[in-house]
Structures are given as C-alpha cells and as structure tokens.
Structure 1
C-alpha cells in the first residue's frame, strides 16, 4: 500500500524542514497529513514530513498534543525505513518513547520487528513539546546510504494496556512515496 502523492508541495515542505534541521535545498521532501483518527490518544499523528538528501534522512512527526509527562500512560513511536523495494518490509526501524526521559534506538528490522544491537552511527531524536513535534535525523550511512527511501510511521499509546491505541500514518502498514536523495 502507498499513501500516494504528497499533499504538500515539495518546495513548501522542503523550506519548512530546512529551517528545522538546517538541510541543503537539494533534498527531496514530501509532507503527509493524517486525519484525527486516534482520538483516544493525545499523541494522534496529524502530519509527517520526510526529507531525504545527501546529508541524511529527516522525519518530522506532528501530534495532536505531545506532552512531556502523560497521566494517561506511555506512548511510543516506530519509524520504519524501506530502502530496498524488491524486499518485502522495512530494513531498518527507529523506536522512541514520546515522554520526557525516554530513550530511542535505530536497529535493523525483520518483519517489522527490531533485531540485533542498535546501529552505531549518527542519528538523533528531539521531542519538541512546545511544538507538538518529534524530529528525527539520521545520516544516510545509518541506512546503508540508499538512493531512495520510503517511510512508515506507527504511534502506539498504552494508556489502557488491554486496548492499546495504534495510529499509522495513512492505512495500517502503509508507506510514503519513495524519496530520492538529491
């Protein structure tokens, strides 16, 4: 499945992301809106911007209400990276908590499950509670320096452990369009 064509123009989304991560203008960028479909969670995904350029890959996820501390229980985010179109599923994934003090790690992925030790490369996650955003940046070599990449995003809210709330960007297990490094 694919999310189809980006909803924002490449130029507008690229300018916004350049301001966030200081990236060169040659990067290919796309933005995707997500409906308010996980209303039982404060961390409902509302918009995702992906930039793939010579220096790295950036993913910015905007939420309904990202909070430093949650009285509703923990929430987390998984960002899946597909770098080889002929293979089924992602080759890499990043997992992070969404509350202050949580950790994150980038690992190889098999069947959408993290495998092995964290990858030793330059990547970072910043939680911007004032802006309801998570900003991820990874050097391209973290993902094997792919010419193109597509991304899947999943938020899981564990407020009620017996009924966790899941919110995918788009349809479950869907992907953004392929983005080529500039």
Structure 2
C-alpha cells in the first residue's frame, strides 16, 4: 500500500511540475513601463509578450482601461517584427481600446500596410476589470518565426488638438528578440 501511495505522489508531483513549467521552448518576458503619459487613462504600464510554440500572446496593462470614453477614442498598435534581416515589423495589429471597437492584423512592408487584413486565427480581448488587453495569434498567422520582437504604441485622442502617445520604452523601439521553436 505504501509503495502505491509513493508512486502516486511522485506521479502527481511530476505532473504538477510539467504543468507549471510549460513548454521549454517558449519565451515570456514582462516589460514595465513608467507612468509617462499621466494625462491618459490608457497609459501603458506593462507589456508581456509570450512567444509559445503554437501561438504568440501579448498582454498589455494600462493605468485605467475603460469601456467608454468621455472624450475622444484611444487605440493601440502592436508591431510584430519577425525578421532580423529586414528593418521594421512585418505584421501590425491595430485596435481601439473602448468597447465595440474593431481590430485588424495586417502585413506590413517598409512601414506600410500590404494587402487585406489577415483572416487567420487571432483575437483581441479587452478586460476592463483588470485594465488589460490580450492579443493571441497562431504562429502560423505570422509566418511561424523562430524569434520575434514587438513594439507597442498607444494613442489617446481625448484632446484631438494634442493627442497623447505612449510607447513601450522609447519611441519606435522594440523589445529584445524572443525565441520559440
């Protein structure tokens, strides 16, 4: 009987470690961003890209994400760079940050959108209670790259004559390269 319980305990522990560790080939990093756009409720506070074996998940945290805006709209752009040998991103997600706004994932070349919005598996979820946006896309949707880096930009048009823009890090910057296989 003791031997059976010991085996069950070892198997349960191994299963728990496997579930908590996740895939060995995924890379996930959290980037904090200071409160540098203090006039905007949608100031970027943190970005966590998670480059998994089958999909890319990007979570963006905000100061105070709201379902409705009493002023102008706010939007977010996530640039996804998949090729170190080319300048700039190859894909771009653009989305509004209020309820009911649409989003599009597009191919980009030389900073310009190329073709129609992509219809491959991807989605954006706005969680107003947690002040967070989550982008999830199949890696096949972005060419199944071994490594990616992202750039994130928020634009708040509450005062259209003085739009507020917040980048993760410096303007037009990207995260470090994240590897997956």
Aligned twin of 1:13: none
Aligned twin of 1:71: 70
Counterpart-to-counterpart distance in 1, 2:44 and 2:117: 25
Give ranges in structure 2 of 5+ residues lacking alignment. 1-18
Q: If the length of structure 1 is used for normalisation, what is the TM-score?
A: 0.85
Contact kept? 2:92, 2:108, Cα under 8 Å:
yes
Three-state SS of the structure 2 residue aligned to 1:131 is coil
Would the alpha carbon gap of residues 24 and 55 (structure 1) be closer, same or farther in structure 2, given more than 3 Å must change? farther
Three-state SS of the structure 2 residue aligned to 1:96 is strand
Counterpart-to-counterpart distance in 2, 1:72 and 1:25: 43
Deviation, 1:114, is: 2.7
1:134-149 → structure 2 map (5 Å cutoff) = 134-149=133-148
Three-state SS of the structure 1 residue aligned to 2:29 is strand
Q: Based on CA coordinates, which of the two structures has the bigger radius of gyration?
A: 2
Aligned Cα root-mean-square deviation (Å)? 1.7
Deviation, 1:109, is: 1.3
Q: If the length of structure 2 is used for normalisation, what is the TM-score?
A: 0.85
Q: State how many pairs are aligned.
A: 162
Three-state SS of the structure 2 residue aligned to 1:142 is helix
Three-state SS of the structure 2 residue aligned to 1:43 is coil
Counterpart-to-counterpart distance in 2, 1:110 and 1:38: 29
- Give CA-to-partner distance per residue, 1:110-167, whole Å, 9 cap, x none: 3434332111200000000000000000000111000000000000001111211100
Counterpart-to-counterpart distance in 2, 1:116 and 1:70: 31
Three-state SS of the structure 2 residue aligned to 1:159 is coil
1:19-58 → structure 2 map (5 Å cutoff) = 24-26=22-24, 27-58=26-57
Counterpart-to-counterpart distance in 2, 1:161 and 1:146: 38
**Residues 1:61 and 2:60 aligned together:** yes
Counterpart-to-counterpart distance in 2, 1:29 and 1:125: 18
Give ranges in structure 1 of 5+ residues lacking alignment. 1-17
Aligned twin of 1:4: none
Three-state SS of the structure 2 residue aligned to 1:141 is helix
Deviation, 1:24, is: 4.1
